[in-house]
Amino acid sequence: MIVGVVGLGLIGGSMARIMKRGGYTLFGTDRNPETLDKALQMGLIDGELTDERIGQCEVILLCVYPGGTVEWLRTKGPMIGRDTVVMDTCGVKRAVCGPAWEIADQYGFTFVGGHPMDGVAKIGLDHSSDTMFKKASMILCPRKDATLGQLHKLKNVLDAAGFGRYEMTTPEHHDEMIALTSQLAHVVSSAYVKAPLSLQHKGYSAGSFRDMTRVSYLNEVMWTELFMDNRENLLSEVEGLMERLALYRDALRDSDWDRMRDLLREGRETKEQMDREDRK
């Protein structure tokens, strides 16, 4: 199978490593010529994904930002084969799937929204890995009229990448959930690490501080685009968190031991319920 990869950073570079290990013929491209040259020199791709080669690809993986994904499809859509399955890897789906499906209808190829639920708090090809997605969850947003054959072709590629779980959903539900499970965590981490005492943490911190600050090491350009593309959902989650934090603030302000115990117990019980559901 011939696979095209657009964007050879952390996600695209990891997919390239995995596809090469699986014996796929791989063409890739990146807006940074140095990254493309490095991928060629490392043997991660068999050649550049030129306009002439786009039509040869059976699957194309778009591993760029949401705006870049839509722009690439608008520009290259006429070159994509009618039997080709195209999947993006963006962290938002409404901003991508709507225009992508319109472009796919215009030129006859299949588009499936995708979001690999894994990664590291680093960016770039140098941090990519051929084990990045082992046993990870892949969220897929296919159109309602997508055929099993189209999805099977894509699943063969994703299975080779090592994904262990697939969630099928709509772009709307994806964005609603991701606002909580991913985007809010990045907002909280970014705000938390700015505490005046953070730079003095050495010797006073352990796992809790590391966990809370890990994702504050982020790509601010990409995450700003993701946040703004999902503004309504993320704003709702931020406001909800502020309301819940206010309850803890009030208990502290009022020296209300009973209320603080109740709040902490409710949090512990919620986490226990989450863990039970995860084990099912």
Cα 135 from Cα 118, distance rounded (Å)? 10
Tens-binned pLDDT, residue by residue, of the chain (280 aa): 999 999 999 999 999 998 888 889 999 999 999 999 999 999 999 999 999 999 999 999 999 999 999 999 999 999 999 999 999 999 999 999 999 999 999 999 999 999 999 766 667 888 888 888 888 999 999 998 888 877 888 888 898 888 989 999 999 999 999 999 999 999 999 999 999 999 999 999 999 999 999 999 999 999 999 999 999 999 999 999 999 999 999 999 999 999 999 999 999 999 999 999 988 8
Q: Which of 169, 204, 235 is the last residue of a domain?
A: 169
Considering the domain architecture, whether residues 164 and 27 belong to the same structural domain is answered as yes
Per DSSP, what are the bridge partners of residue 3?
Answer: 26, 59
Pairing of strands 59-62, 2-6: parallel
Is 208 found in the same domain as 184?
Answer: yes
- CATH code for position 239: 1.10.3660.10
148 and 78 in a common domain: yes
Domain containing residue 270: 174-279
List the CATH number of the domain containing 75. Answer: 3.40.50.720
Residues 159 and 263 in one domain: no
In 3-state terms, what secondary structure has residue 137? strand
pLDDT at site 232: 98
Looking at the fold, whether 132 and 181 belong to one and the same domain comes out as: no
Number of domains in the chain: 2
pLDDT of residue 130: 84
What predicted TM-score, i.e. pTM, was given to this entire model?
Answer: 0.92
Domain boundary among 169, 194, 225: 169
- pLDDT at position 21 is 83
Q: Where are the alpha helices (DSSP H) in the chain?
A: 10-21, 33-41, 51-54, 66-76, 94-107, 148-160, 171-178, 184-192, 207-213, 220-229, 231-253, 257-279
Residues 6+ apart with CB under 8 A from 39: 8, 13, 16, 28, 30, 45, 125
154 with 194, same domain: the answer is no
Tokens of 72: 């690439």
Dihedral of CA 111/219/192/269: which sign?
positive
pLDDT confidence of residue 32? 94
Residues 196 and 129 in one domain: no
